[in-house]
Amino acid sequence: MNTVGCGDSMVAGFAVAMARRKGPEEMLRLATAVSNANALTMQTGHFEREDLDQVLLMTAVKKIK
């Protein structure tokens, strides 16, 4: 586990989701998943696509009222 670069990865996830014209919930979901996938490897700013796919399956965004 390596949390270095997770914030940068989260911003990158937001940017990709914005470029794909996703809604706010999907932006947050992708950003969170990319950040989490980054933490799963020892290499900073790198993740495996398979890890991202698995994390996306487990990531949900819930509106707070």
What is the structure's pLDDT at 45?
A: 82
pLDDT of residue 26 exceeding 90, the answer is: yes
Task: Give the C-alpha separation, 36 to 40, whole Å.
Answer: 7
Q: Which of 61, 62, 12 is nearest to 37 (CA)?
A: 12
Confidence of residue 43 (pLDDT cuts 50, 70, 90): confident
Report the domain count for the chain: 1
Answer yes or no: are the C-beta atoms of 30 and 17 closer than 8 Å: yes
Whether residue 21 lies inside any domain: the answer is yes
pTM above 0.85, yes or no: yes
Give me the percent of the chain exceeding a pLDDT of 70: 100
Instruction: For residue 45, give the amino acid letter.
Output: G
Whether residue 1 lies inside any domain: the answer is no
Answer yes or no: are the C-beta atoms of 47 and 38 closer than 8 Å: yes
Whether residue 30 lies inside any domain: the answer is yes
Whether residue 32 lies inside any domain: the answer is yes
Whether residue 65 lies inside any domain: the answer is no
Task: Give the C-alpha separation, 20 to 39, whole Å.
Answer: 24
What is the structure's pLDDT at 44?
A: 84
Per-residue pLDDT, averaged over 16-39, amounts to 96
Range of the domain at 22: 6-58
